[in-house]
Structure 1
Amino acid sequence: MQVADKVIVVTGGGSGIGRALVLQLLAKGAQVVAVDLNAESLEETGRLARAGERLSTHVLNVAHREEAEALPAAVVARHGAVDGLINNAGIIQPFARVNELDYVAIERVMEVNFYGTLYMTKAFLPYLLKRPEAHIVNISSMGGFLPVPGQSLYGASKAAVKLLTEGLYAELLGTPVRVTVVFPGAVATNITTNSGVEVRQSEGRRSSLKPLPPEEAARRIIAGMEQNRFRVLVGSDARLMDFLYRLAPAWATRFIQRQMRSLLGG
């Protein structure tokens, strides 16, 4: 689906990949509905966009079903229709083993990453099915197909997004709605801050792999959407680990475990 002249909802639009998606979609001629929990960062996105009536901003928590269910009517009232949904909002967990995580942290990650994606999809899908063409893009993660010690619940939530999206793709074949799942690798965003996760100095050591700028990640996501691609791997690390995990999953898992060992205290 070409994004020009379409109305597209972007969650997590206040920063990082979400903000880059908002700005690039506007630059390509779309009307954009930017959604975020953080009112201040969402306001900054609006200032950067300078898009006038083509941009509307909505402060809400995607993990609250009632808020998600109320949004489509507000979008249609403001923009006249809705043609696309990019479920980008997400958080990571504290860097800890499953045995060390409390249920508050576990439930928060699942509620935002999986249920937030599900609530938004369920809320908007009836509207999208009425359009001549429409598109749903769900952002999973490299951690959604590759186990990352210390982020096991985050990975589980993103694996759930992966399977949900692939199931939607199959269910919606023959309808006007196309579906894409995205697997970003390392992207230079402030997700740790937005997730309320502290990174100790020893955990912040430089990686030999330079994270992808959010603007480039957004460009590749939009390109995948416009090409109606089934899956999009964002970043050389995501492409490499996708290949290695398919080729030798146990070896790839041990490789990632060695990389994460210092974060887990040995």
Structure 2
Amino acid sequence: MNTGFGNLTAISLAKEGYPVIATCLLPDSVKELESLDIPNLTPIKMDVTSQQDIDSVFDYVQEKHASLYGLINNAGINHGFYLELTNIDHYTNTFNVNYFGVVRCCKTFLPLLRKTKNARIINISTQGIFMPVPGSSSYCSSKSAMKTFSDCLRMELLHTGVSVTVITPGVYATPLLDRRKHAEEIFDSLTQEQRATFGEDQIEHYRGFFNKGPRAAAKPENCVKQIVKVSTAKRPPMERLIGYDSYLFWYFYYILPTFVKVLIFRVVWFILFLVIGKNKRK
């Protein structure tokens, strides 16, 4: 829970009086949360790609609390770009965090969740499962896999009293959305052949798209309020779409015929290129 939804959700739940163990990838994030001096908030370093780290947190929770009321799987990365411009490691790393990280945590902490009445697992997905985004195939596919895993797990746990909720936020201004640094690394590493294939103008359009993306999103606090609401609900929903864009656009797009989706995408992408190109010339 270094930044974004995880950080704000942990702080909000702790301030409402819930004991929260906030796992952080970076030691600096642990120190930042500790500096807030919130009595119910315990930050701990944990890498969701490391089973050893997860087991250490499990041992801590078991020793201090004996059981667990809720598990929120929020860790996520969005690496890679168009398939032809992306190293395969970007795909494996993304799945290792976004999908296998969720699987590891659910499998490890389920014994503690089973000990608590009305316990819940909350997995954070993305609108990309409804509208796959070009240049984010590793991210969208990993979240789609996580969504299917969550649906299967929900059925497996029906008799246990442990619920599984998938929260699908719209586009919010979190660090995950800001891919500028990562994108620059990809663009700077392109071979001459790749540059010739895509063209310098196209590559510059991509740069502009990445540089504009994070500014046009809603504040994450609006989404965090809903995550907290689901986390503390007496009967958590199986799914929750958050944000008007999820309801009115992403899901609507999802149920359209494929040929209509392609047509809409062509129009939207053309308009984006026009706007980015216009801003670039100013």
Normalised by the shorter chain, which TM-score bucket? 0.7 to 0.9
Check the 8 A contact 1:14/1:43 in 2, yes or no.
no
Q: Is the alpha carbon distance of 1:40 and 1:209 closer, same or farther for their aligned partners in structure 2, counting shifts above 3 Å? A: closer
Structure 2 residue aligned with 1:27: 15
Q: CA deviation at 1:103?
A: 1.4
Question: Counting helix residues as a fraction of each chain, which structure ranks higher?
Answer: 2
Give yes or no for the alignment of 1:106 onto 2:91.
Answer: yes
Q: Is the alpha carbon distance of 1:191 and 1:175 closer, same or farther for their aligned partners in structure 2, counting shifts above 3 Å? A: same
Q: Is the alpha carbon distance of 1:93 and 1:70 closer, same or farther for their aligned partners in structure 2, counting shifts above 3 Å? A: same
Structure 2 residue aligned with 1:233: 241
Give yes or no for the alignment of 1:251 onto 2:260.
Answer: yes
Check the 8 A contact 1:140/1:158 in 2, yes or no.
yes
Check the 8 A contact 1:149/1:257 in 2, yes or no.
no
Q: CA deviation at 1:204?
A: 4.0
Q: 2:143 aligns with which of 154, 158, 163?
A: 158
Q: Is the alpha carbon distance of 1:243 and 1:44 closer, same or farther for their aligned partners in structure 2, counting shifts above 3 Å? A: same
TM-score (norm 2): 0.80
Q: Is the alpha carbon distance of 1:258 and 1:66 closer, same or farther for their aligned partners in structure 2, counting shifts above 3 Å? A: farther
Structure 2 residue aligned with 1:222: 228
Q: CA deviation at 1:244?
A: 2.4
Structure 2 residue aligned with 1:51: 38
Q: Is the alpha carbon distance of 1:184 and 1:253 closer, same or farther for their aligned partners in structure 2, counting shifts above 3 Å? A: farther
> What is the alpha-carbon distance in structure 2 between the residues aligned to residue 173 and residue 154 of structure 1?
29
Q: CA deviation at 1:256?
A: 4.0
Q: Residues 38-95 of structure 1: CA distance to partner in whole angstroms, max 9, x if unpaired?
A: 11123213323x222x22111121011222233211112233431110000000023x
> What is the alpha-carbon distance in structure 2 between the residues aligned to residue 87 and residue 101 of structure 1?
26
* Structure 2 residue runs without a partner (length 5+): 185-205, 278-282
> What is the alpha-carbon distance in structure 2 between the residues aligned to residue 210 and residue 46 of structure 1?
31
Number of residues paired by the alignment?
A: 250
1:1-266 → structure 2 map (5 Å cutoff): 13-48=1-36, 50-52=37-39, 54-94=40-80, 96-191=81-176, 197-198=182-183, 202-204=208-210, 206=212, 210-225=216-231, 226=233, 227-239=235-247, 240-256=249-265, 259=268
Q: CA deviation at 1:219?
A: 0.8
Q: CA deviation at 1:243?
A: 2.0
Check the 8 A contact 2:226/2:242 in 1, yes or no.
yes
* Structure 1 residue runs without a partner (length 5+): 1-12
Q: CA deviation at 1:242?
A: 0.7
Secondary structure in 2 aligned to 1:69?
Answer: helix
Amino acid at match of 1:144: I
Secondary structure in 2 aligned to 1:176?
Answer: coil
Amino acid at match of 1:158: K
Check the 8 A contact 1:149/1:260 in 2, yes or no.
no
> What is the alpha-carbon distance in structure 2 between the residues aligned to residue 61 and residue 172 of structure 1?
26
Secondary structure in 2 aligned to 1:149?
Answer: coil
> What is the alpha-carbon distance in structure 2 between the residues aligned to residue 73 and residue 15 of structure 1?
25
Amino acid at match of 1:222: V
Secondary structure in 1 aligned to 2:71?
Answer: strand
Give RMSD over aligned pairs: 2.7
> What is the alpha-carbon distance in structure 2 between the residues aligned to residue 253 and residue 159 of structure 1?
20
Q: Is the alpha carbon distance of 1:138 and 1:113 closer, same or farther for their aligned partners in structure 2, counting shifts above 3 Å? A: same
Q: Residues 206-262 of structure 1: CA distance to partner in whole angstroms, max 9, x if unpaired?
A: 469942222211111222331411111121212221122113344235434654576
Report percent identity of matched pairs: 28
Secondary structure in 1 aligned to 2:182?
Answer: coil
Q: Is the alpha carbon distance of 1:208 and 1:99 closer, same or farther for their aligned partners in structure 2, counting shifts above 3 Å? A: closer
Q: Is the alpha carbon distance of 1:38 and 1:148 closer, same or farther for their aligned partners in structure 2, counting shifts above 3 Å? A: same
TM-score (norm 1): 0.84
